Chain A
């Protein structure tokens, strides 16, 4: 709005302070969080004291001279939203990658206000993925936000792509932060091969780009998501990978702004910063929804680190990937994974006995873990212990492994088959009525 009324854009050329990521100059009439171009590089206002304006230069300040040209854009960062976004990949500033043509659409400020909580609808739509470790134990729901907690060596991007393609979303928006070029190409190929490119929008910051640029990527992706979910009433799935690298970029910036770091050198505002993104997940009353599946890489499985810890408090559960050495496959860990919204669909959108089957199986799997500890400590196992161990192996193989791809009903049937094979109904301890109705007699 405002820039249209300006007759000309004033060019500043006197920078008096430069750090690795920020520059300061004297300027007036500048708005907080306003976008600017410093020596051809995008930058954003982060602090104003009297007429001294401090800007954060996303690409870093290498080579910028004290007489570099600074032009203010008059608005916060914007994205042009429209159907034209579909099937394309963009950089952190919303510019088309690989030199393709400019997009047409309405300019929207990114990082827009939040949804009024009373205008949200309670999520209630089950998202089947075919992966029993998710569907059976940690069912996903539209409007949910959930990250994969995984060590860097685990195939989280592959699993995420699989979930995205099977989830029957109208749009899949990929926000790649610090993605390796290989992984970027992997996503592109997978979506291409699945014939899903017409449903994809990508905002990509690869390891080749400056890290601070990443900070814009999720806001870009979520602004696009809001467009499709609000204007088009579409079911949008947003993939954020990897949020640990995003948080690292936050800490770089706060460090350069001389802020007092809190736990694990992260900024004290990490919780709010992450919540602002994740809370964009929403179910709208008119059918549109934004579901967020993210990745938070861990270091050695440590979830007490500030990044996974704050994430856990924000997201509606987490999915843990772990290699099960008994079967030599990656499984969705039933103990440490959790989907908080599953209660809204299990036994309601799925079969009535689903919650009990899920709990019983996990409890028996826990018994197996105890038996295993016993075994490792050199103690004799009871007959029950032996049976739990065999059950655990079969359960892992047939249900928890990420290569499982079956329908919900079949998951439940499989669980009953395993129960009946190794246990008596008393040992499984389910509601009598379900035992009568569904228990498989051998």
Chain B
């Protein structure tokens, strides 16, 4: 028998309910408003009064209306059929809803109960099993979707029976388990899990040690993300947060993409809806949408469901991680979620923390970030959730509570700079302000040098130093004037510009330049670093910018050309030729250039020539 109650007060979407029995914190309940049932969540209990936040508009609600408690927290349904779906924050399938406008109180089943899947058992009768163990497998789109022992199972179970290979609907019983007390439990392909609790069905969570390729040079080369790592992108509006996130979802080296559009623009979600089914996944050759799930709670949808949306997304990501997949989870924007918390805290008349946010905001945020990570599953396989969230700091001021709390939780910081955005230097990540803690992990450094290039991290640090020196000298030039500084200053400045234009800047809307493989990045970084290490001679400072612009332009044409294509080689040769015009060979430096790098590149070019 579920507890019932009656409404005694309404303040915007906070409703006070007089209850007649047991209620639990975060329990779900439904308000029976005429024919509509409005979903809500308990957020505070005072004596017999439960304070609930309604996930819908509260227009027209009256005192005395009946409320029914559901006896569980907010849960999501996990099973085959989640991929390619467009859910709202409460995991309703948006495509199943009728009409143009969202109807209040309309909830749809997240999964397709009628679909049949070809089930292949992986466990057998008599096996012992625990939560998260793989029972069997079905194919979802092209991903091997593991059917797992429900995460809610506690302790050791024995497989009493399991179905043989065959077609099943997701609600069909596929196995029966016996627990330690000898009680039987039927299991289907669906399981439910409360979103606010992390799924812990894995053996351990080591420090991330692998690099996570995103195809974005300023991230991969200068501030790399680790597989199972966390990062955040704060930036004022118009600095390109969303474009960057979309680009990440398109090109990142993940098996699955989960996108939580939390309190952001609807047209941005529509862009994903429209483009992803058309875009080819560079890794599988299939359509991007086949490996993507979208949780959309746009800014005009009910505020309370915003919080739910990020948790729903995280839980779905955890579910797929437990299958041994690499998941990238993107949330845009976590600030909107924090604002939803603030609105509610305000209505409950809690004492506010900084900027009116609830006092426990830092704890909530770091708790959430800690659910990401690289894990070893109980069967020894690995899975990961790489999480990147955006933050929309008020007024672009990074000293606000959401940014500061996130900074403590996330390991990578991608600062978007208004100045770079204004001068259309995209992606507008400020490479000097940004950092990746992973670049300090010895296991990551080793991984990079082993898998990409033995000189990789040296080159990266050299590039970073050059950028910093370039910034400093540019400030000097601005203070002292063009002719008030030695010509060398101009050269240093322009070397930094070279790195900026060729490595940092990337055209997200150009087919070729949008994504760059590590192989290509390694090639370009080596080239550019070599160029920066060269000595040049100029008589007048005016010549410096003109010359470097020419070099940059040729390098950019390389970026626009298919890697190692005829055009690419052509522009690469043109770069070499232009560099020869001004380059001074200092004999003592000759070794480093000529013996180590030059012959290598020349040789490869010759090879290409021969191929033609």
Give the docked Cα–Cα distance between A309 and B397 (Å).
11
Q: A207-262: which have CB < 8 Å to B? A: 230, 259-262
In the complex, how many angstroms separate the beta carbon of A340 from the nearest chain B beta carbon? 8
Type the 1/0 row for A285-318, where 1 means its CB is closer than 8 Å to any CB of B: 0000000000000000001111001101110111
Q: Does B21 contact A (CB under 8 A)?
A: no
Q: Does A5 contact B (CB under 8 A)?
A: no
* Contact, CB under 8 Å: B343 / A118: no
* Contact, CB under 8 Å: A117 / B298: yes
Give the docked Cα–Cα distance between A392 and B379 (Å).
65
CB closest chain-A residue, reference B426 = A359
Q: Does B520 contact A (CB under 8 A)?
A: no
Type the 1/0 row for A329-360, where 1 means its CB is closer than 8 Å to any CB of B: 00000011010110100000000000100010
Which chain A residues lie closer than 8 Å to B339 at the CB level?
268, 271-272
Among candidates B101, B271, B343, B484, residue contacting A272 with C-beta atoms closer than 8 Å: B343
Which chain A residues lie closer than 8 Å to B346 at the CB level?
259-260, 268
Which chain B residues lie closer than 8 Å to A158 at the CB level?
none
CB closest chain-A residue, reference B33 = A31
Give the docked Cα–Cα distance between A204 and B478 (Å).
51
* Contact, CB under 8 Å: A341 / B267: yes
In the complex, how many angstroms separate the beta carbon of B85 from the nearest chain A beta carbon? 10
Among candidates B8, B10, B267, residue contacting A32 with C-beta atoms closer than 8 Å: B10
Q: Does A3 contact B (CB under 8 A)?
A: no
Count of interface residues, chain B, beta-carbon cutoff 8 Å:
76
Which chain B residues lie closer than 8 Å to A259 at the CB level?
346
Which chain B residues lie closer than 8 Å to A341 at the CB level?
267
Q: B319-350: which have CB < 8 Å to A? A: 336, 339-340, 342-343, 346
Query: Which of A98-106, A171-179, A274-282 is the interface stretch?
Result: A274-282
Among candidates B60, B273, B483, residue contacting A118 with C-beta atoms closer than 8 Å: B273
Q: Does B300 contact A (CB under 8 A)?
A: yes
In the complex, how many angstroms separate the beta carbon of B132 from the nearest chain A beta carbon? 32
Type the 1/0 row for A33-77, where 1 means its CB is closer than 8 Å to any CB of B: 110000000000001111100000000000000000000000010
Please judge, given known A-B contacts A50-B63, A384-B542, A429-B556, whether A115 and B266 are in contact too, CB under 8 Å. Answer: yes
Q: Does A119 contact B (CB under 8 A)?
A: yes
* Contact, CB under 8 Å: B97 / A314: no
* Contact, CB under 8 Å: B422 / A116: no
Type the 1/0 row for B63-90, where 1 means its CB is closer than 8 Å to any CB of A: 1100000000000000000000010000
Give the docked Cα–Cα distance between A314 and B273 (Å).
19
Q: A1-49: which have CB < 8 Å to B? A: 28-34, 47-49
Please judge, given known A-B contacts A32-B58, A118-B95, A427-B549, whether A363 and B423 are in contact too, CB under 8 Å. Answer: yes
Give the docked Cα–Cα distance between A338 and B86 (Å).
29
Give the docked Cα–Cα distance between A306 and B394 (Å).
7
Which chain A residues lie closer than 8 Å to B63 at the CB level?
28, 30, 48, 50-51
Give the docked Cα–Cα distance between A243 and B110 (Å).
38
* Contact, CB under 8 Å: B423 / A366: yes
Q: Does A120 contact B (CB under 8 A)?
A: yes
Which chain A residues lie closer than 8 Å to B8 at the CB level?
49-50
Which chain B residues lie closer than 8 Å to A366 at the CB level?
422-424
* Contact, CB under 8 Å: A120 / B342: no
Q: B542-582: which have CB < 8 Å to A? A: 542, 545-546, 549-550, 552-553, 556-557, 560
Please judge, given known A-B contacts A31-B62, A32-B58, A272-B339, whether A113 and B102 are in contact too, CB under 8 Å. Answer: yes
Q: Does B11 contact A (CB under 8 A)?
A: yes
Type the 1/0 row for A349-378, where 1 means its CB is closer than 8 Å to any CB of B: 000000100010011001000000110011
* Contact, CB under 8 Å: B10 / A47: yes
* Contact, CB under 8 Å: A426 / B550: yes
* Contact, CB under 8 Å: A363 / B303: no
* Contact, CB under 8 Å: A429 / B546: no
Please judge, given known A-B contacts A316-B267, A377-B481, whether A116 and B94 are in contact too, CB under 8 Å. Answer: yes
* Contact, CB under 8 Å: A117 / B509: no
Which chain A residues lie closer than 8 Å to B394 at the CB level?
263, 304, 306, 309-310
Give the docked Cα–Cα distance between A344 and B489 (Å).
41
Please judge, given known A-B contacts A33-B60, A230-B100, A359-B424, whether A117 and B542 are in contact too, CB under 8 Å. Answer: no
Which chain B residues lie closer than 8 Å to A318 at the CB level?
238
* Contact, CB under 8 Å: B299 / A314: yes
* Contact, CB under 8 Å: A271 / B299: yes
In the complex, how many angstroms separate the beta carbon of A372 from the nearest chain B beta carbon? 13
Kindly name the residue among A111, A269, A384 whose own CB sees the greatest number of chain B CB atoms within 10 A.
Answer: A269
CB closest chain-B residue, reference A226 = B101
Please judge, given known A-B contacts A143-B267, A362-B424, whether A380 and B298 are in contact too, CB under 8 Å. Answer: no
Count of interface residues, chain A, beta-carbon cutoff 8 Å:
83
* Contact, CB under 8 Å: A269 / B343: yes
* Contact, CB under 8 Å: B557 / A432: yes
CB closest chain-A residue, reference B349 = A260
Give the docked Cα–Cα distance between A123 and B395 (Å).
28
Q: Does B486 contact A (CB under 8 A)?
A: no
Which chain B residues lie closer than 8 Å to A431 at the CB level?
557, 560
Which chain A residues lie closer than 8 Å to B560 at the CB level?
431
Give the docked Cα–Cα distance between A170 and B263 (Å).
31
* Contact, CB under 8 Å: B355 / A262: yes
Which chain B residues lie closer than 8 Å to A144 at the CB level?
267
Give the docked Cα–Cα distance between A119 and B557 (Å).
40
Q: Does A182 contact B (CB under 8 A)?
A: no
Among candidates A282, A313, A335, residue contacting B392 with C-beta atoms closer than 8 Å: A313
Which chain A residues lie closer than 8 Å to B296 at the CB level?
117
Which chain B residues lie closer than 8 Å to A382 at the CB level?
482, 541-542, 545
Which chain B residues lie closer than 8 Å to A28 at the CB level?
63-64
Which chain A residues lie closer than 8 Å to B97 at the CB level?
116, 118
* Contact, CB under 8 Å: A114 / B102: yes
Q: Does B155 contact A (CB under 8 A)?
A: no
Q: Does B445 contact A (CB under 8 A)?
A: no
Among candidates A260, A263, A316, A355, residue contacting B509 with C-beta atoms closer than 8 Å: A355
* Contact, CB under 8 Å: A279 / B355: no
Give the docked Cα–Cα distance between A259 and B550 (Å).
59
* Contact, CB under 8 Å: B481 / A116: no
* Contact, CB under 8 Å: B298 / A49: no
Give the docked Cα–Cα distance between A230 and B100 (Å).
9
In the complex, how many angstroms separate the beta carbon of B70 from the nearest chain A beta carbon? 22
Q: Can you report 30 residue pairs joining A to B where beta carbons are below 8 Å apart?
A: A30-B62, A30-B63, A33-B59, A33-B60, A47-B10, A76-B59, A116-B97, A122-B270, A122-B271, A143-B267, A144-B267, A260-B352, A268-B339, A272-B299, A272-B340, A279-B298, A280-B300, A281-B267, A282-B266, A284-B100, A312-B237, A341-B267, A355-B509, A378-B481, A379-B482, A379-B484, A382-B542, A384-B545, A426-B549, A432-B557
List 18 additional contacts besides A49-B8, A118-B86, A230-B100; criterion CB under 8 Å.
Answer: A31-B61, A31-B62, A47-B11, A48-B62, A49-B11, A109-B59, A115-B102, A116-B100, A117-B273, A119-B99, A120-B273, A259-B346, A268-B343, A269-B303, A271-B336, A272-B299, A359-B424, A366-B423
Residues in A lying within 8 Å of B, measured CB to CB: 28-34, 47-51, 76, 109, 111-123, 143-144, 230, 259-263, 268-269, 271-272, 275-276, 279-282, 284, 303-306, 309-310, 312-314, 316-318, 335-336, 338, 340-341, 343, 355, 359, 362-363, 366, 373-374, 377-380, 382-384, 426-427, 429, 431-432
The 6 closest A-B pairs by CB, nearest first: A304-B395, A275-B299, A279-B300, A312-B237, A379-B481, A31-B60
